[in-house]
A and B are shown apart, each in its own frame.
Chain A
Amino acid sequence: MQYLTLLSILFPCIMGAALFVWKPTDRIIRNRYSITVVLITSALVLGTAFCTWTYGGDSVAVTIARISKHLVFEFRPDNVATIFGCIIGVLWPVTTIYAFNYMEHEGNDNMFFGFFIITFGVVAGIAYSANFFTLYICYEFMTLVTLPLVMHSMDAKARSAGKKYVLYSMTGAALVFIALMYFVQYSDSLSFTYGGILDLARTAGHESELMLVFVLAFFGFGVKAAIFPFHRWLPAASVAPTPVTALLHAVAVVKSGAFAVMRLIYFGFGIGFLRGTWAQYVVLAAAAITVIFGSCMSLRMPHLKRRLAYSTVSNLAYILVAFAAMSPLGLLGGLLHMVFHAVIKITLFFCAGSILHNSHLEYVYEMEGMSKKQPITCAVFVVASLALMGIPPLGGFISKWTIATASAANLSWAGYLGAAALIVSAILTTLYMMSVVVRFYFPLKNAPALSDHCHEADARMTGPLVFLTVLMIVLSLASSGLYSWIGGMV
């Protein structure tokens, strides 16, 4: 059964790479090939998750290489990993279907789908990795395979964005590397252990040094999660084709960053070591600042996709606030928000992409009265916006409430700052989302009419949209189940 894990990572990598060699010219064949590969991978990823729940992580663990005592290349899913696995396993096929329509006019499809499929495997690798060494390797690899996707259009803007992306990621990786070295120094094994892997006998006397290393590593992984001040690559990367921005920059890549931060805090340094120290306050405050900052910037962006990108910055910081709360409740809140934000933000990006692709509009002020032209897209947008704002009973509310409770439970200034930031940001979220929704449905009387070229997307775009909305509503209504399910696993 261990091959399940191995296959879910290797299979997409090989099959994706095959597209570069094979280079099919027929669109239909390529699409069929891509969706088949993605669906099989999905089944493998979800199957691995399922086996982990039923038979435990050890039954699917696979060791590929053992370089030394510390450096073991190994995959071993645990419960937390399966949550991330489920997110990508469900959302990848949906995005692939959406991408077929979207990519029709973008060109260079073989390269796009090739890397798109490879990324699936790499992200699954991040999810299922067993130790920091494996996580680090996969993490680096992800930067490289997603780069061509960001730069897909290869114009000046895209290349500049890609360059920024790589430089920021490399900076982050360098910071993380320091932590990796310290782990080798101060622990017996790099395998994730809830509660931390540091050998406290050895760390005695070096606490402040390790705190500094933690802060650096937090920001290092935080780069991918777009933590302030290392967030600039994310809005720039919104030049990429929408399926990429939607899936990678709202779900896979950024969530990998948040996921890695979670591993670092709960499975690396351990909350017992960090809780109540200055290191916790620094990262909590940084995350809280990012929450506000992202919302502020989002409010000022007239470009819809960039507005959503900054909103992602803000929402990822919610997750980081939760993880930085360093309590089991924080872990629960962060994972919940990972799930909800993934579904909500991918939906919003799909809506933006649908408008961009079908009506060729990018700026919010151009979209007055859009609901007449693209009713389904706009309706979906409204539901997703309400969920993002956290209007009960939609999903965002429960996760934000949990995060705020976890943060305030710290009873420190940073904890209250985190909770207050969440509330302020909720106001800003309402402002920046509602100002779009209001334009869709209640246009100004003197607004120029939309051209006749604006039209609703075809079923391959609206299908994923509707599916995601239904998924969102179901998740919201089942939020208590989800809450106790995740609560039982962490």
Chain B
Amino acid sequence: MILSLMVFLPIVAALAAYPITRKSEKAGNVLIIGVTLAVFAMALSLLAGSLSGAQIPGFCGSGLNFSCGSMQTVMALIAAFMWLMTALASPEYFDHARCNARYYMFYLWTLGALMGVFLAADLMTLFIFFEIMSFTSYVWVVQNETPEAIKASETYLFVAVIGGLTMLMGIFLLYASCGTLSFHELPELAAKMSDSRKLVIGICILVGFGAKAGMFPLHIWLPKAHPVAPAPASALLSGILTKSGIFGVVVLSFHVLDSFGHTWGNLLLVPAVITMVLGAVLAVFSTDLKRTLACSSMSQIGFILTGIAMACLLGEHGGIAAYGTMLHMLNHSLIKLTLFVAAGVVYFNVHSLNLNDVRGFGRDKPLLMVTFLMGACSIAGIPGFSGYISKTLIHESIVEYIHELAHHGANVLPYQVAEWLFLFSGGLTFAYMARLFYIIFIAKKPHHQHQKEGRYMGSLTALVLIVGGALMPILGLTAHSTMDKIAEFAVHFFHRHAMDHAVHYFAWINLKGAVISITVGIAVFALVGMMWLTKRKDGEEEYINVWPQKLDLDDYAYRPALKGLAFIGAVAARCVETLAAILVMGPVNLIFTGAEKEVIPPEDEEFSKYDTTSERSLVQRSFNYDLLCAMLGVAALMIFVIINL
């Protein structure tokens, strides 16, 4: 009951949110805060009770099935928390904005859909809500209705839809092979499938979830869509919506393909590492505050996917990787909440996100500075902050796998490279966060910087920043009693054993990775960030964009490919169609001879135009005559039938 309520309360409330917000924005604000608070309370209550699950039989044919516990509860709780926080920050951000009634409606809708995704007990339910979520969050991206927003949302929609339907194909094959989609029964039945079938199913479903998560090469929408959305929506898109994709990958990897772990782990590791490095590189070169954060999200998703891949490779003993994955998901959500809300504060003061315009904005704003610093330190993996813990766990899992392989005398080089790239990406994370921090809080202000009058942020926004920022050192310093417990609770969903011994996070062996990363980071920050990407002129700094604009997979590969495919399809169809027309109309032209010009009206704007052709006719042509002939034919046939009986 409570599970269904968590899903459907926001969906129903969304319908009310539109008219209410149209009438009074205050009432709308109260409504969304109230609803998100209620959902958060219900999510908390999941921790206490042992609910068995909920069913709504018959809905959409196969019925909806919900369950909770383990990772599902944790994810639902994180989502509810994120929504509550952004609901608190929204009233200020959307003050005087247009169309916020629309935004609020889709905001609540997406919450319901996301709850459906996290609380689903079978793949079908998950898919249904996943699709709904794609469409409702589309409106977030397009909310500002600027040309960039429209283009980005287009890309988002296409990627989401194509991914979603490829996934449907996979689900479909899975259903055809196993006869069930329930998480409970899948592991056992799916293990019986042949390896090639597992591979096909795995790739199909991975395309769908990977597209939402922002995995290479389906990441194209992410760096475009996240920056153009309103800041609270960006926080949710980056912080939690991408996690729905990750959640799907977890389901796929540990519930469907667990018996296929070795191959699957290797297969997943490649895009994971590429995503991790590419995202970080893009973030270093970005000159837009939110774009940097979005690219950073992509990179962190790569870290998480690496964790999943390692958990697959390590098999039953992958507990450490599963811990790391779960905790990095949690951390990344909280970090991105803080950072995007901070970016929102910058935006509604300065009305720009370009680093050249916002530089020095935070010089005299200690609260913003401290909370931003918390987020930055955490994501950069500074020891003592939450991000360090999860990154260390994932790093340890790679090291462990290398040891295991070395023990068996196998080739460890690919994994060694993966480890180096992991540390290198960690270094880049440090570099781009340090650069952002330097530009916003240390660099000198330009004279013309726009500044909102009055206080630079409201108390609710400040509260969100403080809560978000404070969580990071708290979690990071009390890792054994907080984060380990959360991971232990969630690891059951990964079908991995809990770790039997606690990791000594502050032992030198574990700190070493962080030290290497930070050293790399300082070097990159100094050499690339401060020297290459910064121009100094008359004491003024300018941050230049050296990333080639044209290097965009979307414009260069996907859009032309899509257009080309549609064109080829149409041309092919047209050719065969002409043949068919000859087949049907040809005999007519044979029978009727004699010249008469006739206008052939166009039937297809793309391929034909008005023209005249000479048609031959046997007798003076009239439609009635044609009809008469046709009817005579029918009559003759009828007589033939009757005589033959």
Contacts and interface: CB of A to CB of B under 8 A. Distances in A.
Interface of A: 67-71, 140, 156-157, 159-160, 162-163, 166-168, 170-171, 173-174, 177, 180-181, 184, 228-230, 232, 235-236, 292-293, 296-297, 299-303, 306, 386, 391-393, 397-398, 401-402, 404-405, 408-409, 419-420, 423-424, 426-427, 430-431, 434, 438, 442, 444-445, 479-481, 483-484
B511 to A, nearest CB: 49
Given A405-B176, A426-B168, A393 B147 contact: no
Nearest to B168: A423
B642 A167 contact: no
Contacts of A292: 569
Given A170-B633, A480-B57, A229 B576 contact: yes
30 contacts: A69-B645, A70-B645, A71-B642, A71-B645, A140-B634, A156-B599, A157-B601, A163-B626, A168-B584, A171-B584, A173-B634, A228-B577, A230-B580, A236-B603, A296-B569, A296-B570, A300-B570, A300-B604, A391-B132, A393-B59, A398-B61, A404-B172, A405-B176, A423-B168, A423-B169, A427-B161, A430-B165, A431-B161, A442-B145, A480-B58
Given A170-B630, A232-B580, A480-B57, A442 B150 contact: yes
B131 interface: yes
A444 B149 CA distance: 11
Query: Which of B63, B128, B569, B570 has the most CB atoms of chain A within a 10 A radius of its CB?
Result: B569
B502 interface: no
Interface of B: 57-63, 127-128, 131-132, 135, 142, 145-147, 150, 153-154, 157-158, 161-162, 165-166, 168-169, 172-173, 175-176, 566, 569-570, 573, 576-577, 579-581, 583-585, 588, 599-601, 603-606, 623, 626-627, 630, 633-634, 637, 641-642, 644-645
Given A229-B576, A296-B573, A300-B566, A392 B142 contact: no
Given A181-B641, A229-B580, A438 B61 contact: no
Contacts of A68: 642, 645
Contacts of A293: 569, 573
Contacts of A402: 61
A423 B170 CA distance: 10
Given A292-B569, A401-B61, A71 B142 contact: no
| A-B CB proximity, top 7 nearest | A229-B580, A480-B58, A296-B569, A392-B128, A157-B601, A398-B61, A430-B161
Query: Which of B154, B577, B585, B641 has the most CB atoms of chain A within a 10 A radius of its CB?
Result: B641
A396 to B, nearest CB: 11
Given A71-B642, A297-B573, A479 B60 contact: yes
A442 B627 contact: no
A374 B150 CA distance: 21
B132 A392 contact: yes
Query: Which of A68, A392, A402, A484 has the most CB atoms of chain B within a 10 A radius of its CB?
Result: A392
A420 B583 contact: no
Contact of A386 (B135, B580, B603, B637): B135
A156 B602 CA distance: 11
Contacts of B57: 480
Interface of A is mostly: helix
A481 B128 CA distance: 19
Nearest to B566: A299
A397 to B, nearest CB: 6
Nearest to B129: A392
Contact of A160 (B147, B150, B173, B600): B600
Contacts of B579: 229
A13 B599 CA distance: 35
Contacts of A177: 637
A438 B60 CA distance: 26
Query: Which of A159, A174, A232, A404 has the most CB atoms of chain B within a 10 A radius of its CB?
Result: A232
Nearest to A480: B58
A468 to B, nearest CB: 20
Contacts of A481: 58
A71 B158 contact: no
Contacts of A69: 645
Given A71-B645, A408-B176, A442 B59 contact: no
B60 A393 contact: yes
A184 B577 CA distance: 34
Contacts of B176: 405, 408-409
Contacts of A427: 161-162, 165
B131 A235 contact: no
A484 to B, nearest CB: 8
Given A168-B584, A230-B580, A391-B135, A235 B142 contact: no
B146 to A, nearest CB: 8
B598 to A, nearest CB: 8
A164 B637 CA distance: 21
Given A236-B603, A391-B131, A405 B172 contact: yes
Query: Which of B57, B169, B581 has the most CB atoms of chain A within a 10 A radius of its CB?
Result: B169
Given A228-B576, A393-B128, A302 B605 contact: yes
B63 to A, nearest CB: 7
Contacts of A445: 146-147
A229 B575 CA distance: 11
Contacts of B566: 296, 299-300
B44 to A, nearest CB: 28
Nearest to B602: A157
B165 A423 contact: yes
A405 B169 CA distance: 10
Contacts of B626: 163, 166-167
A229 B577 contact: yes
A480 B61 contact: yes
Contacts of A67: 642, 645
Contacts of A160: 600-601
Nearest to B633: A170
Contacts of A236: 603
Contacts of B135: 386, 391
A293 B145 CA distance: 33
A378 B147 CA distance: 22
A444 B605 CA distance: 23
Nearest to A392: B128
A70 B642 CA distance: 10
B645 A167 contact: no
Contacts of B131: 391-392
